[in-house]
Amino acid sequence: MDRIINMIINQVIRRFVNIGVNKGINHLGAKGKAAPLTPTQSNAARETAKRARQAAKITRRLGR
């Protein structure tokens, strides 16, 4: 039972972190510039964040 609760909590935390990363990238991209990020720049930033999350996930799996 403890494992199920732990899995659910980890999924919820992971979703909140993903939302926070996406919003942070969008906010920081528009903060220091006169114009907001173009769609290609924000897509590239999202893809970079996605690759970083995948790398973190793979690293966690290798650590087990």
pLDDT in tens, 13-54: 999 999 988 888 877 766 655 566 677 777 888 889 899 999
Q: Tokens in use for 51?
A: 């690759």
Q: Can you tell me the distance from the alpha carbon of 51 to that of 45, in angstroms, rounded to the nearest whole number?
A: 10
Q: How far apart are CA 58 and CA 21, in angstroms?
A: 18
What pTM was computed for the model? 0.43
Q: How many CB atoms lie within 10 A of CB 23?
A: 10
Query: Please, are residues 27 and 55 in contact by the beta-carbon 8 Å criterion?
Result: no
Note the pLDDT of residue 33. 58
- What's the pLDDT at 14? 92
